[in-house]
Amino acid sequence: MDGLAYDLYRNERVAFEGSSGEYKANINKIVDDSTKQVSTMIAMLKGIGNRHLNANFKTLLDTEVFGIQSVRTSIVLSEVQFKEDDRFSYREVRSAEVPIVYEERNKWLKVFEILCYMLVELKKQRINYKVIEDDEQGAVLVMSEDTIK
């Protein structure tokens, strides 16, 4: 992993992976980096769950972590979250080409769209994490059969 971003509660929330430069891309490295990123994102999500075993499992289902991968001049934003059947859901939610010359400046719109999407989603996750914390600390009654345990 080339970088991690943390939320206000010191949880890993975004994994960054740079898989190639502008001109040279090795397909094996790109595949390896993609696999490593998904694995890291799953570990990040498990880390949040493991620290909140008394929280409501349904709240954990709304918890997301994010990944940003660059390949040549493209960036891809992805999300991972738990599913009810003890599996994980991985989605590529946005992608963009980063402009490298002035004539491609209109491509910045999609890059900024990724940033806006991330801002909105991370604000939702702040609210979600407050609920998980309240569950964990006993501020909200969670029946034992509904916990993450």
pLDDT digits (tens, 9 = 90+) for 54-86: 999 999 999 999 999 999 899 999 999 999 888
Query: Edge-to-edge strand order for the sheet containing 64-71?
Result: 3-6, 12-18, 64-71, 74-82, 88-97
Average pLDDT, the chain: 92
How far apart CA 57 and CA 79 sit, in angstroms, is 19
The torsion angles phi and psi of 92, rounded to 5 degrees, stand at -90, 115
Q: Specify the pLDDT at position 81.
A: 96
pLDDT band at 33 (very low <50, low <70, confident <90, very high): confident
Q: Considering the chain, what percentage of its residues have pLDDT values greater than 90?
A: 71
- Determine the Cα–Cα distance for residues 140 and 75; give it in Å rounded to an integer: 40
Sign of the CA dihedral 50, 52, 53, 59? negative
Handedness of CA 85, 131, 128, 35 (dihedral sign): negative
Tell me if the pTM is above 0.75.
yes
> What's the pLDDT score for residue 57?
94
For 7-18, write each residue's pLDDT tens digit.
Answer: 888 888 999 998
Backbone angles phi, psi at 93, to 5 degrees: -100, -25
Alpha-helix runs per DSSP H in the chain: 27-50, 57-61, 108-137
Structural domain spans, the chain: 3-142
Of the given ranges (23-27, 41-45, 77-81, 141-145), which has the lowest mean pLDDT?
A: 23-27
29 confidence band (pLDDT: 50, 70, 90):
confident
